[in-house]
Amino acid sequence: MTDTSILFQSATLGSLELKNRLAVAPMTRVSATDDGRATQQMADYYAKFAAGGFGLIIVEASYIDEQYSQGYHFQPGLANNAQRDAWKLVVDAVHAAGAKICMQLVHAGALNQGRNANYPEGAIAPSAVAPKGEMLTFYRGEGTYPTPREMTTDELIAIKDAFVAASVRALEAGFDAVEIHGANGYLLDQFWTAHTNQRTDEYGGSARNRIRLDEEIVKAAVAATQGKLPIGLRLSQSKVNDFEYQWVGGEQDAADIFPVLDEAGVGFLHITEHVATDEVFGSGHSLAGLAKKHAKAPVIVNGGLGTPETAASVIAAGDADVVAQGKAALANPDWPAKVQAGEPLADFDFGMFSPLADLASQAAWEAAQ
Ligand SMILES: Cc1cc2nc3c(=O)[nH]c(=O)nc-3n(C[C@H](O)[C@H](O)[C@H](O)COP(=O)(O)O)c2cc1C
């Protein structure tokens, strides 16, 4: 039997100490109020993972402003003080159950499927490029995405400020860390991705330019929160609307961007892939392994690591510091406790997301089992 004890060693993400190396990956559950406030139901849901032994819970992507950042109806936000105060319910419940909690901040960019009626309609993006793929039906979407409007420079600055203001609200709400969502096809990933960023200013073109907005947001958020909590960044290759996308510069991209993010003060990198152990670019490393090779910041790895053996093997190989579980955590909110006790794990079932990927559908599915 593989030794999984390495998963239960303590770890640090910058100034944040974790009791083990097991995190819950961020998962959008569209179960907030219509105006983006977290609920008691969400507090109970997140507290279950804490009670089940996870050291860190990264909550679902929350939008940052009252403009174009919301991408899904009933998505939570951290764009105003009412939303901040609602999150305290979740933070307190998770802390009481013994885990640390990280906020994930997002701007949907071109991937907008609907938002509160008080915010403007439509989508903005680095360039007016129609997204590939189709909207997610389990978040009430249907059909292709419209072409977004190209952002102005003023909007770009306002978005940077909004990420920073939301990071400060996260600190005020009691979160232990912030993760900037630079992955999976949303606005910041639209900047990083070559074909969705056709800008000719200093935010488009080279890898150095396409990572600049991430760099500036991290740097400004670190300064505004005075180093009181780590500001991490999530990066990926694949996107919710484009599974096969790969970084255009291969390993050179990793060599170009990770030192820049270190220099900006990034508290951790969260690298997600479909199968996080897969080798990339013929480099002899996984993408998380390349982050470890080219960055000094600690690395959270995610994607297809639901068995205790694979989770332990990435840590043992030195490819990451913390493993984040998505679907395996939904099937087993007590994944760490079960693994420690040597108990069998339940398989994930997509029935949980039918008809919607919200907590009501999950509760109905669970009641039917
Ligand atoms: C229902 C659902 C919602 C998700 N929402 C988010 C999100 O809000 N932010 C994010 O970065 N990733 C999100 N993801 C991606 C997961 O964090 C994770 O990368 C993915 O499930 C792969 O990891 P796994 O193999 O452990 O499930 C979501 C995934 C699922 C299944």
User: In the structure, what pLDDT confidence band is assigned to residue 299 with cuts at 50, 70 and 90?
Assistant: very high
- Rounded Cα–Cα distance for residues 303 and 319 (Å): 13
Query: Which pLDDT score is estimated for 297?
Result: 98
Q: Percent of the chain scored above 90 by pLDDT?
A: 99
For 218-258, what is each residue's pLDDT tens digit? Answer: 999 999 999 999 999 999 999 999 999 999 999 999 999 99
Q: What is the token pair recorded at 153?
A: 């420079």
Give residue ranges with CB within 6 A of ligand 1: 25-28, 60-61, 104, 181, 183-184, 234, 272, 302-304, 306, 325-328, 357
The architecture in CATH of the region 5-368 reads Alpha-Beta Barrel (3.20)
pLDDT number for residue 89: 98
For residue 216, give the 3-state DSSP assignment. Answer: helix
Closest Cα to atom 5 of ligand 1? 27
Q: How far is the CA of 301 from the centre of ligand 1 (A)?
A: 12
What is the reported pLDDT for 310?
Answer: 97
Model confidence at 1: pLDDT above 70: no
- Which ligand 1 atom is at minimum distance from the Cα of 183? 11
Plot region of 281 (φ>0 → left; ψ -120 to 50 → alpha; else → beta): left
pTM exceeds 0.95, yes or no: yes
Q: Are 217 and 210 in contact (CB under 8 A)?
A: no
For 347-360, what is the mean pLDDT?
Answer: 98
- Ligand 1 centre and the CA of 27: distance in Å? 5
Closest ligand 1 atom, residue 104 Cα: 9
pLDDT digits (tens, 9 = 90+) for 43-72: 999 999 999 999 999 999 999 999 999 999
Q: How many helices (H) and strands (E) does the chain have?
A: 12, 12
- Tell me the β-bridge partners of 22: 323
Ligand 1 centre and the CA of 158: distance in Å? 27
Compute the mean pLDDT over every residue in the chain, rounded to the nearest whole number: 98
Specify the pLDDT at position 228. 97
Q: What is the pLDDT of residues 86-97, one digit of tens each?
A: 999 999 999 999
Inter-CA distances, 45 with 79, 101, 324, Å: 22, 13, 17
Q: Given CA atoms 260, 265, 268, 274 in this order, what sign does their dihedral have?
A: negative
Structure confidence at residue 273 (pLDDT): 97
Structure tokens of 98? 């013994």
The predicted-structure confidence for 330-342, as pLDDT tens digits, reads as follows 999 999 999 999 9
What's the pLDDT score for residue 248?
Answer: 97
Q: Catalytic amino acids?
A: 186
String of DSSP letters for 78-145:
-SSHHHHHHHHHHHHHHHHTT-EEEEEEE--TT------TTSPPS-EESS--PPSSB--GGGT--SBP
pLDDT confidence bin for 133, thresholds 50/70/90: very high
Please calculate the CA angle 212-58-185 and round it to the nearest 5 degrees.
Answer: 45
- Report how far Cα 22 is from the mean position of its chain's Cα atoms: 15
